[in-house]
Structure 1
C-alpha cells in the first residue's frame, strides 16, 4: 500500500467536498480542476514523468459517464415536455375527481400528487406544484402544515428510483455497463414500493391525528373547487393526453424489455416524436428545446465531468490505496457489512456531503472497499442510493428554501420536524433491504 497515494486520495475527496459545501467553487470547476492537480501529484509520488497518461485517465473516466449524460440530455426534456402538456396534471385531476376529501385523504393525496409530479425529475417543480395546491386544504382541515413539505420531500426521494431521474443517473454512472439505470431501477423497486407504503401509513397517521383533534368538523370542500386550482397554459394539450400517455408507457416498456437499445436513443426518439405530435410549429419546437436545455445545466455536464474524478482516482491507483488503508483500519469482521453501517447512518452523514460528492466521492470508495469483501459494487450503489439526509440539507438540496417559503415555516422548524422521521424511514429501508435481499450479495434464505 502506498500511504501517500491513499492520503492524496482522501485529501482530494475532502477538498472537493469542502469547496462544494462552502460554495467556494462550482461543481464543474471542482470536477475539472481538482482531480487534475491530484493526478500530477500522484505521478510525482509514483516517480513517473509520463504526464501524457493523465489524458488516458480522463478518457477512461468520461467513457463511463458519457452514455448516462446523453440519456439525461433527452430524458429530462422529455418529461418536462410531458409536464408542460398537462399529462401529469390530468392524471392528478382524474384521481381528485373520485375521492371524498378528508384530512387522511388529503395527506394521502399529497403522497400521490408529489410522486406523480416527480416523474419529470425536477425537485423544484414538485414543490412549486404540490405545496400551493394542497396548503389551503391543510389549513382548512387544521393539519399541521409542517407535514406537507415533509411528505413531499420523502415522495421526491422515493420517485428518484426511475431510470431517467438525475439521482438514479448519478448512481448508474458508477456502474460501467449498458442499461445500468434500468437495471438498478428494477432491482430497487421492491424497496421503493416498501417506502411508498411506509409513507402512506405515515400520511394516514397525520391525517387521523388532525381529524381526531376536530380538523374535519364542519369543513367541506367540493371536488370542483379543488380542480379549479389547476391552470392551463398555452402549452397545455388536453386533447393529446391519450397519445402522450401511450408514448410514455411505450418508452418505459422499451427501457425495460429491450435493454440492448441505448437508453439515450429511447428518449431521443420519444422527445422528437412528442414535440412533433404536440407542437406542429417547428419554431415553437426549437423554443421549447432551448427552454429545456437551460434545465440541463449544470447537472448534465457535472455528471459527464464526474468521470474525470472517477477516472483519475481509479486509474492513478489512489482509490486502490484508499481501500487498502480502510482495510487496515476497519476490523475485518465488520468489512463485509461496512456499507450497511454507512447506510444506517446515511441521514446524518449526508449533512457532510452534497449530492455529487455523495455519489462521486463516498460511494465509489465504499464500493471499492466492499468489493474486496465479496460485495458487488451494484449492491453497494443500491444500498447507498437513497441518501435521505439530502432532504434536510440546504447545501445538497437548496430547493428546500422554496418548500419552506411556500409553506410559511422556517427552515429550523422544517429540519426539527423532519430529521428524526427521515432517519427512521432510512433505517426501516435498510432493514427491509436486508430482509428482502435487495441490499445483500445473496438473499438471507439462499
Structure 2
C-alpha cells in the first residue's frame, strides 16, 4: 500500500512538472500532501512538512546567500579584468583562445547560474570567433563543457538538490567528488586544446588570421576595491573547501562584507539585494517545497516501502552496481528529466534501493552528479539556459546537441572512470 502510494506520488509529480501542468513549487507540495491524506496520515501531515523544511533550511539559506554573493561580484565587474587579460593573452591562437574560453566560463560560473554565465561569456568572445571564422558550435560546446562540469560545485543546483533530497550536508556530499571535479575540468581543458589544435591547422590551411584588436571593457572599481573583492572570494571559497566554516556561514559573512565593500549607501545595498531577490526566491522556494516532498515521503514510510520493494524487483547485478549504472546514464538522463523531478523524485528511490541492498545513498548521488544536469544541463531542452546559449551563439538546438553531446558525454564517462579509480564509486 505505502509503496504503491509512493510510486503514484512520484509519477504524479514527474508528470505534473514535465508536462508543465503544475509548477515545481505546487507539484512538490500538493501531490505528496494529497497522497498522505489518501493513506490516512492527514493528522501527521503538518509535522512531516515541518520536519522536511527544517532539514532543508541550511541548504536553502546557503544557496540564497551564494546567489547574492556572486551576484554582487558579477555586478561589480570583479571577473572583468580576468576576462580582459585572457582575451589579450589568447590573441589569434585558437588553442590559447579555446582554453581561455574554458577558464573564463569556469570563473564566471562560480555563481552557479548558467544563464548569467552565458550572458557574460558569449558576448565577450563571440566577436573573436566570428572574426576568425571559427564555427560557433565550437564556442557553444566549450562554454557548455566548462559550465557543465563546474555545475558540480557545492552551491550548484544539482549538488544542492542531491544533498537536500538525501538529507546529507552538502560539503559531506561534495568533498569526495573534488578530485573527480578537478579531473573533469582538466579533461575539458585538454579537449579545448585538442579542438584548438585542429582549428589552428584549418586556419593555417585557409590562410586566415585575426586582424583587428578587441577593446577591453574597463571595470569601474578602484584597485583597492577590486583587490578586496578578490581576497574575499578566495577566503569564502577556501573556508568552504577546507571546512573552516560551514558553507551557510561563509556565504552569509561573505555577502555582508561584499555589500559593505561595494555599496556604501543603504539605498544601493537595498537595490543590490532587490536585483538578486527574484532568482534567489525562486530557487529557495523550490528547495523548501522539496523539503515538504521528501519529508512527507520519508516520514510517512512511503520512501522506505518503495526502496524495499524496488530492491526485490531489480536484477541483482543492477542493484549491486547501481551507483555505477546511474553514473553511466546520468548525462543522457538530463534530456529526459529536469533537475527537480530527478533529484527530488527519482534519486531518493534509487538511493533507498542502494541502501536496502547494503550500499550507500551517497554513492548514487555521486553517480548522478557526474552527468545529470551537470554535464547534461547545457544541452537539455528542459533547461531554459540551453536556449539562451544557442540564442546568443545563434545556432540551432539540433546542431548544438549533435556537436556538443559527444564531448559532454565523453567528459561524463571520463569522470565516472576517475570516480571508480578513486573509490568514490565502487564496482
Q: 1:69-128 CA deviation, whole Å, 9 max, x = no partner?
A: 111121110111011111111223333444443111111111111111101121111111
> What is residue 247 of structure 1 aligned with on the other side?
232
Q: Is the 8 A contact 2:154 2:160 kept in 1?
A: yes
Question: Paired residue for 1:83, among 58, 69, 74?
Answer: 74
Q: Is residue 2:6 matched to residue 1:9?
A: yes
Q: Which residue of 1 aligns with 2:279?
A: 295
Q: Please tell me whether residue 407 in structure 1 is matched to residue 393 in structure 2.
A: yes
Q: Is the contact made by 2:81 and 2:219 (CA closer than 8 Å) also made in structure 1?
A: no
**C-alpha displacement at 1:296, in angstroms?**
1.0
Cα 1:253–1:201, aligned 2, differ >3 Å: closer, same or farther? closer
Partner of 1:230: 217
> Which aligned pairs between 1:15-164 and structure 2 lie closer than 5 A?
15-43=12-40, 51-164=42-155
Superposed CA RMSD: 2.0
Give the equivalent residue in structure 2 for 1:46. none
Contact 1:163 1:169 in 2 (8 A): yes
Aligned residue for 1:297, secondary structure, equals helix
In the alignment, is the contact (CA less than 8 A) between 1:64 and 1:174 conserved in 2? no
1:104–1:208 Cα contact (<8 Å) kept: yes
Distance 1:362 1:34, change over 3 A: same
Residues 1:392 and 2:383 aligned together: no
Q: CA deviation at 1:277?
A: 1.8
1 CA distance for matches of 2:338 and 2:318? 26
> Which deviates more from structure 2 when the two are superposed, residues 346-355 or residues 280-289?
346-355
- Match of 1:352, SS state, is coil
Note closer, same or farther for the CA distance 1:95–1:136 as it changes in structure 2 (3 Å cut): closer
Following TM superposition, by how much is the alpha carbon of 1:35 offset from its aligned partner in structure 2, in angstroms?
1.0
Deviation at 1:400, TM superposition (A): 1.1
Give the equivalent residue in structure 2 for 1:217.
Answer: 207
Tell me whether 1:166 sits opposite 2:151 in the alignment. no
Range 262-271 or range 95-104, more displaced: 95-104
Q: What is the TM-score normalised by the length of structure 2?
A: 0.93
* Structure 1: 4+ residue segments shifted above 6 A: none
Structure 2 vs 1, CA of residues 239 and 97 (structure 1 numbering), >3 Å: closer, same or farther? farther
Structure 1 Cα separation of the partners of residues 247 and 178 of structure 2: 19
The equivalent of 1:192 in structure 2 is 181
Deviation track 1:239-265 (CA, whole Å, cap 9, x = no partner) reads 411111111212223224445x44322
SS at match of 2:73: helix
Secondary structure at the residue paired with 1:164? coil
Is 160-169 or 18-27 further displaced after alignment? 160-169
Pick closer, same or farther for the CA change 1:10–1:229 going to 2, 3 Å: farther
Could you tell me whether the CA contact under 8 Å between 1:6 and 1:318 is conserved in 2? yes
Do the aligned residues in 2 keep the contact of 1:141 with 1:210 (CA within 8 Å)? no
Distance in 2 between the 1:414 and 1:168 partners? Answer: 25
8 A contact 1:327–1:335 mirrored in 2 = yes
- Output one character per residue of 1:265-313: Cα deviation in whole Å (capped at 9) or x when no partner: 2211111111112211111111111111122131111011101111111
Cα distance, 1:30–1:401 mapped onto 2, change above 3 Å: same
Gaps of 5+ in 1: 44-49
Contact 1:146 1:414 (8 Å CA) reproduced:
yes
Q: Specify the alignment match of 2:313 in structure 1.
A: 329
Q: Is the contact between residue 2 and residue 305 of structure 2 (CA under 8 Å) also seen in structure 1?
A: yes
TM-score (norm 1): 0.89
1:201 aligns with 2:190: yes
Q: Is the 8 A contact 1:58 1:312 kept in 2?
A: yes
The structure in which a higher percent of residues are helix is: 2
* 1:329-348 matches, cutoff 5 A: 329-348=313-332
Where 1:143 maps in the other structure, the secondary structure is coil
1:337-376 correspondence runs (5 A): 337-376=321-360
1:72 is paired with a residue whose SS is: helix
Shift of 1:218: 4.1
Residues 1:134 and 1:255: Cα distance change in structure 2 (over 3 Å): same
Deviations 1:143-172 (A, max 9, x none): 221111122112112112323223322222
Q: Distance in 2 between matches of 1:123 and 1:400?
A: 8
| Gapped regions of structure 2 (runs ≥ 5) | none
Measure, in 2, the Cα distance between the counterparts of 1:262 and 1:212.
49
Q: How many pairs align?
A: 423
- C-alpha displacement at 1:41, in angstroms? 1.8
